[in-house]
């Protein structure tokens, strides 16, 4: 007790903005789920389930997803270049294909050692490889000088928000529901989050009217709205924005001089429709109406964490800037250099992601087989989960679109809402807590992402293997509804 009083830090004197930040993904439910996991590992038989299913977080390799062989073979050599001295063993006994060795040599030549710092914005050869990828993807040129490697997309978002938010009157338009990185980072920065609702009835698309109204309201409150965040494909919604929504956002951003932050980390997790990058759309619009969109400032982010790569533990990502003032860009460079550089092994993974084995190359067949199996597995599990939701009373969920999540609406009986209030919880938190206690399945309440007033949701990933856990959700739901009806 006594020694506690001698501490400099207590909960009332640390940075209040850190305290205020809310981040529900690894929140109370996740902590409880870890406690259950520990109990099960210690042999407890007191719980009504045999395993904990972490459907709360898009963490593919924590669940079923295996790393892509080509990627890990290359990384193994990057971490231990001495393996190259035994290339006969690699090729003849461990089935490393010659293109694995070539790529590893090329990356080692580019970075020296993965144990060394790189240039602050990332190794030049890796930035060039990303620029080449962007050019292939979008059909428009990309300049490696505008690319910044980051420790996952999160670190890129952190950099950009730090630079954009000048003071507590700086506001950022953030979609609701959203991945809470944005609201939490804005809280920490003591800047203003300007929420705009996505339209659930239009497949979670953007509504320009809603965006305009949100901006006008913020402006009237003295907020200087400087940027708009778009998550495409969406988290937690999974939806890919149609071309007209992207065009409308670019038009509006151009007119109102808003920086566009396009979070495109789920660009390959698309089951329905197609992914259209903001960069491609912007360049197309610039071509169609020369001069009109030249001043648009766009930052697009990507990551090795999602897609079929799922290497989120390696912390690799990048952002590309378009249309930024060179002096601002120099400050961004300075900001990233304060952290020295993104993890170099993560940078190498980014290179592998944007430049995977091509047709005709020795590793292509296995890479494609593994990649497609992951893609199809995700789609199958999403469909099975969606089918289960369709059977559940008071649950509505659009067909799976992509990303790694489903975000069903739930309608709970008034008695359940009263019981939630008695526990000091929102009804969706209460529902998710009871679900965890009964089944071991951990999901995130919709309130963790923001949701339209008067609606309730939860977000679940469809990464976990097997179908037993899906059945347990259906059973829990029936019991819950019967208990509180």
Ligand X SMILES: Cc1ncc(COP(=O)(O)O)c(C=O)c1O
Q: How far is the CB of 161 from ligand X (least distance, A)?
A: 12
Q: Which is nearer to ligand X, 175 or 408 (CB)?
A: 175
**What stretches of 168-311 show up as alpha helix (H) in DSSP?**
181-188, 208-220, 243-256, 278-288
Q: How far is the CB of 291 from ligand X (least distance, A)?
A: 33
Is 187 a binding residue for ligand X by CB under 6 A? The answer is: no
Q: How far is the CB of 351 from ligand X (least distance, A)?
A: 15
Q: For residues 283-312, which are near ligand X according to CB under 6 A?
A: 303, 305, 312
Q: Which is nearer to ligand X, 263 or 351 (CB)?
A: 263
Q: Which is nearer to ligand X, 175 or 357 (CB)?
A: 175
Please state, as a whole number, how many other Cβ atoms lie within 10 Å of the Cβ of residue 306. Answer: 24
The DSSP-derived string for 32-67 is: HHHHHHHHHHTT---SS-S--EETTS--GGGTTPPP
Q: How far is the CB of 181 from ligand X (least distance, A)?
A: 6
Q: Which is nearer to ligand X, 188 or 312 (CB)?
A: 312
Q: Which is nearer to ligand X, 154 or 472 (CB)?
A: 154
How is residue 340 annotated by DSSP?
Answer: -
CA 106 – CA 379 distance, rounded (Å): 35
Q: How far is the CB of 65 from ligand X (least distance, A)?
A: 14
How would you classify the pairing of strands 192-197 and 170-176? parallel
Q: How far is the CB of 179 from ligand X (least distance, A)?
A: 4
Cα 244 to Cα 167, 204, 383: the distances in Å are: 33, 14, 27
Q: For residues 188-247, which are near ligand X according to CB under 6 A?
A: 231, 235
Is 317 a binding residue for ligand X by CB under 6 A? The answer is: yes
Is 345 a binding residue for ligand X by CB under 6 A? The answer is: no
Q: How far is the CB of 231 from ligand X (least distance, A)?
A: 5
Cβ atoms of 300 and 229 within 8 Å: the answer is: no
Q: How far is the CB of 376 from ligand X (least distance, A)?
A: 22
CA 338 – CA 208 distance, rounded (Å): 37
Q: How far is the CB of 300 from ligand X (least distance, A)?
A: 12
Q: How far is the CB of 58 from ligand X (least distance, A)?
A: 5
Helix (H) or strand (E) holding 482: helix 468-484
Query: Alpha-carbon torsion 7, 10, 13, 18, what sign?
Result: positive
How would you classify the pairing of strands 441-442 and 224-231? unpaired
Q: Which is nearer to ligand X, 26 or 112 (CB)?
A: 26
Is 58 a binding residue for ligand X by CB under 6 A? The answer is: yes
Q: Which is nearer to ligand X, 178 or 363 (CB)?
A: 178
Q: Which is nearer to ligand X, 263 or 297 (CB)?
A: 263
Q: How far is the CB of 312 from ligand X (least distance, A)?
A: 5
Please state, as a whole number, how many other Cβ atoms lie within 10 Å of the Cβ of residue 347. Answer: 31
Q: Which is nearer to ligand X, 307 or 398 (CB)?
A: 307
At CA 55, angle to CA 51 and CA 56, rounded to 5? 125
Sketch the per residue contact string, 139 through 168, with ligand X: x for CB under 6 A, - otherwise. -------------xxx--------------
From candidates 36, 70, 71, 179, binder to ligand X by CB under 6 A: 179
Q: Which is nearer to ligand X, 62 or 87 (CB)?
A: 62
CA 356 – CA 374 distance, rounded (Å): 15
Cβ atoms of 232 and 246 within 8 Å: the answer is: yes
Counting residues that bind ligand X (by CB under 6 A) gives: 14
Q: For residues 115-134, which are near ligand X according to CB under 6 A?
A: none
How is residue 260 annotated by DSSP?
Answer: E
Nearest Cα neighbor of 176 from 130, 231, 222 is 231
Nearest Cα neighbor of 185 from 214, 215, 153 is 153
Cβ atoms of 389 and 408 within 8 Å: the answer is: yes
From candidates 263, 311, 428, 429, binder to ligand X by CB under 6 A: 263
Is 104 a binding residue for ligand X by CB under 6 A? The answer is: no
Shortest Cβ contact with ligand X: which residue? 152
CA 410 – CA 64 distance, rounded (Å): 27
Q: Which is nearer to ligand X, 99 or 263 (CB)?
A: 263
From candidates 265, 298, 348, 464, binder to ligand X by CB under 6 A: 265
From candidates 134, 163, 181, 344, binder to ligand X by CB under 6 A: 181
Sketch the per residue contact string, 11 through 50, with ligand X: x for CB under 6 A, - otherwise. ----------------------------------------
Q: Which is nearer to ligand X, 231 or 336 (CB)?
A: 231
Q: How far is the CB of 325 from ligand X (least distance, A)?
A: 25
Cβ atoms of 58 and 85 within 8 Å: the answer is: no
CB neighbour burial string for 90-118, b if at least 16 within 10 angstroms, e if fewer: beeeeebbebbbebbbebbebbeebeeeb
User: Interface residues with ligand X (CB under 6 A)?
Assistant: 58, 152-154, 179, 181, 231, 235, 263, 265, 303, 305, 312, 317
């Amino acid at each position: 007790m006594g020694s506690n009083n001698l501490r400099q830090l207590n909960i009332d004197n640390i940075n209040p903005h850190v305290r205020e930040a809310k981040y529900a993904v690894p929140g109370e439910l996740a902590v409880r789920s870890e406690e259950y996991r520990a109990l099960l590992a210690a042999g407890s038989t007191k719980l009504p389930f045999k395993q904990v299913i972490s459907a709360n977080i898009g963490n593919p390799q924590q669940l079923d997803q295996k790393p892509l062989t080509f990627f890990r073979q290359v990384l193994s050599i990057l971490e231990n270049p001495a393996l190259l001295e035994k290339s006969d063993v690699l090729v003849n006994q461990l089935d490393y294909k010659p293109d694995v060795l070539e790529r590893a040599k090329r990356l080692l030549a580019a970075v020296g050692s993965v144990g060394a710092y790189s240039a602050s914005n990332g190794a030049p050869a890796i930035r060039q490889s990303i620029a080449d990828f962007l050019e292939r993807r979008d059909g428009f040129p990309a300049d490696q000088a505008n690319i910044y490697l980051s420790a996952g997309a999160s670190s890129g978002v952190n950099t950009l928000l730090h630079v954009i938010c000048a003071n507590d009157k700086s506001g950022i338009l953030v979609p609701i529901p959203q991945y809470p990185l944005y609201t939490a980072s804005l809280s920490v920065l003591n800047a203003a989050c300007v929420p705009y609702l996505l339209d659930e009835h239009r497949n979670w698309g953007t509504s320009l009217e809603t965006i305009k109204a949100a901006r006008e309201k913020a402006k009237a409150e003295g907020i200087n709205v400087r940027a708009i965040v778009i998550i495409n494909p969406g988290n937690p919604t999974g939806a890919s924005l149609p071309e007209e929504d992207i065009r409308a956002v670019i038009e509006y951003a151009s007119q109102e001089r808003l920086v566009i932050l396009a979070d495109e980390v789920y660009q390959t997790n698309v089951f329905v429709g197609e992914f259209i990058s903001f960069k491609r759309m912007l360049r197309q619009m610039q071509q169609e109406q020369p001069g009109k969109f030249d001043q648009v400032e766009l930052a697009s982010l990507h990551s090795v964490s999602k897609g079929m790569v799922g290497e989120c533990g390696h912390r690799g990502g990048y952002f590309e800037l378009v249309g930024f003032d060179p002096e601002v860009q120099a400050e961004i460079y300075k900001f990233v250099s304060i952290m020295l550089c993104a993890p170099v092994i993560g940078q190498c993974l980014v290179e592998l992601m944007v430049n995977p084995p091509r047709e005709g190359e020795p590793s292509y067949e296995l890479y494609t087989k593994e990649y497609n199996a992951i893609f199809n597995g995700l789609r199958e599990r999403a469909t099975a989960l969606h089918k289960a939701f369709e059977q559940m009373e008071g649950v509505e969920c659009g067909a799976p679109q992509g990303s790694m999540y489903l975000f069903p609406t739930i309608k709970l009986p008034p008695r359940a809402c009263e019981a939630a209030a008695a526990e000091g919880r929102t009804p969706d938190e209460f529902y998710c807590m009871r679900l965890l206690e009964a089944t071991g399945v951990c999901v995130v309440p919709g309130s963790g992402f923001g949701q339209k007033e008067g609606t309730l949701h939860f977000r679940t990933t469809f990464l976990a293997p097997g179908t037993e856990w899906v059945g347990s959700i259906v059973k829990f739901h029936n019991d819950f509804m019967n208990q509180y009806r």
